[in-house]
Structure 1
Amino acid sequence: MRGLFITFEGGEGAGKSTQARLLAEHLRACGHDVDLTREPGGTPGAEALRDFLLFGGHDLCARAEVLTHFAARADHVERRILPALERGRIVVCDRFADSTEAYQGYGLSHGNAGLLGMIGQLRALIPASPDLTFMLQVPPDIAHARLQQRGSTRADRYEAEDAAFHARVAAGFEAIARRDGARCHRIDASGEAQGVQQAIRAVLAPRLAGQGC
């Protein structure tokens, strides 16, 4: 039986990594076989491309940047996600193709129709798509405060972008959520982590009816 593919999406400071981890821990405690992963990354080659994209300091043109994200994604899907799903595992992924559309298509390229069309074509070539996506939403002031609290001296290139960029990214995620409403579930992630996690579990529960938790 094919497994379940769950993704977490949202802007910086939305709590995606925390919520993905909490959900994976919950599902494992319920007896499910879970693979917790992330993008860009998830395989050695994709992790190397992640470091290049986020911290390499290279100014790629928009199309080259999109292609690099999809190169990492193709390796991740082929070597990790598809094998896990074929074994019946639940894959929980921190970001997937929606992030490329929101960040590169809307954030960096201001919704350029040609680039969005290219992203759509590349998505169609990837042989895996999420069954369920949680779109975590937080107001800009809360997101900013959370980023400040991280205390990391190594902010990636997207975290360092200005407020206008992050507003375009948020608008991109909202456009995706409206377009793919059957897959995407908006979650108010401005509260404390456990409360947000309960809202996520409530959405997921009907999908796992009779399978534990």
Structure 2
Amino acid sequence: MKGQLITLEGIDGSGKSTVARLIAKRLHEAVPQRKIILTAEPTGGQAGKILKAQLSASDGSEPSVARRMEELFLFMADHADQLEKLIYPSLQEGAIVISDRYADSTAAYQGVTLRGVVPDPVQWIREIYSPWNRHPDRTLLFSLDPVLALQRMQSRPEREKFERLEFLREVDKNFRHLAALEPDRFVTIDASRAADDVAGQAMMPILKLLEQA
């Protein structure tokens, strides 16, 4: 049986990580015969650990162009490592892989940080990924007003540099642009509701995808 890759995208504070765990649990119940793999990016691999440390340690100052480019390629290196070690092998075994963030997050976030560095950074990043990335079978875009997302994040014990309103608004625009480019792959999910309700909403396109497989 062919495996399926389902990715969850959206701005910080949209509730993806919580809902991803609920989706994995519900899939275990809905299709107990299938192996369910839940993963996330950045990963716990070497590049992912460097990224997490840099994101947490930022003092909010504007990074240099070199640092922004380093960050982009660390995200890509982490993604490539994830593909090689987990995603491709799991899909070959027929598993359902759920990834909390994927290549679209890099295009959306670094598409903001690299403005003025390269022309049309979102498309530029997509073109770098294109020859070697595994395209998701379905992408759920968790849609939430950036103001509400920022309010949700106020209670987090650790903050990251991306948690700024204007920045999140620009990232949100990039996600919407990506969804418009590939309407057959993206399904927009209303992330303003309670996590259980959002998970129920998210399960519908996933189960439909599995029925078509």
- TM-score by structure 2 length? 0.88
Q: What is aligned with 2:39?
A: 37
Name the % identity: 32
Distance of aligned partners of 1:97 and 1:53 in 2 relative to their CA distance in 1, 3 Å threshold? farther
Take 2:208 and 2:35, find their aligned partners in 1: how far apart are those partners?
A: 18
Match status 1:156 vs 2:157:
no
Take 1:114 and 1:171, find their aligned partners in 2: how far apart are those partners?
A: 14
Q: Please list the CA deviations of residues 62-83 of structure 1 after superposition, one character each: whole Å capped at 9, or x if unmatched.
A: 3322111101111111111111
Q: What is aligned with 1:192?
A: 194
Which among 92, 109, 114 is matched to residue 114 of structure 2?
A: 109
Distance of aligned partners of 1:50 and 1:25 in 2 relative to their CA distance in 1, 3 Å threshold? farther
Take 2:212 and 2:7, find their aligned partners in 1: how far apart are those partners?
A: 22
Which among 127, 144, 169 is matched to residue 121 of structure 1?
A: 127
Q: Is the 8 A contact 1:49 1:72 kept in 2?
A: no
Take 1:143 and 1:93, find their aligned partners in 2: how far apart are those partners?
A: 20
Take 2:196 and 2:71, find their aligned partners in 1: how far apart are those partners?
A: 35
Alpha-carbon offset, residue 148 of structure 1: 1.6
Take 2:176 and 2:26, find their aligned partners in 1: how far apart are those partners?
A: 27
Which letter does structure 2 place at the counterpart of 1:155?
Answer: R
Alpha-carbon offset, residue 163 of structure 1: 1.7
Gaps of 5+ in 1: none
- Off by >4 Å, runs of 4+ in structure 1: none
Match status 1:98 vs 2:100:
no
Take 2:49 and 2:92, find their aligned partners in 1: how far apart are those partners?
A: 26
State the number of aligned residues: 205
Distance of aligned partners of 1:172 and 1:29 in 2 relative to their CA distance in 1, 3 Å threshold? same
Which among 130, 133, 137 is matched to residue 139 of structure 2?
A: 133
Q: What is aligned with 1:51?
A: 52
SS in structure 2 of the partner of residue 125 of structure 1: coil
Distance of aligned partners of 1:68 and 1:46 in 2 relative to their CA distance in 1, 3 Å threshold? closer
Q: Is the 8 A contact 2:48 2:75 kept in 1?
A: no
Take 2:4 and 2:120, find their aligned partners in 1: how far apart are those partners?
A: 32
SS in structure 2 of the partner of residue 187 of structure 1: strand
Q: What is aligned with 1:180?
A: 182
- TM-score by structure 1 length? 0.88
Say which is worse superposed, 127-136 or 111-120, in terms of deviation.
111-120
Distance of aligned partners of 1:90 and 1:60 in 2 relative to their CA distance in 1, 3 Å threshold? farther
Distance of aligned partners of 1:121 and 1:27 in 2 relative to their CA distance in 1, 3 Å threshold? same
Which letter does structure 2 place at the counterpart of 1:84?
Answer: S
Q: Is the 8 A contact 2:146 2:172 kept in 1?
A: no
Alpha-carbon offset, residue 209 of structure 1: 2.4
Q: Please list the CA deviations of residues 156-210 of structure 1 after superposition, one character each: whole Å capped at 9, or x if unmatched.
A: 2212xx3211110000000001001100011111011111111111122222228
Take 1:23 and 1:117, find their aligned partners in 2: how far apart are those partners?
A: 30
Which letter does structure 2 place at the counterpart of 1:54?
Answer: L
Map residues 46-85 of structure 1 onto 2, 5 A cutoff.
46-57=47-58, 59=63, 61=65, 62-85=68-91
Which letter does structure 1 place at the counterpart of 2:11?
Answer: G
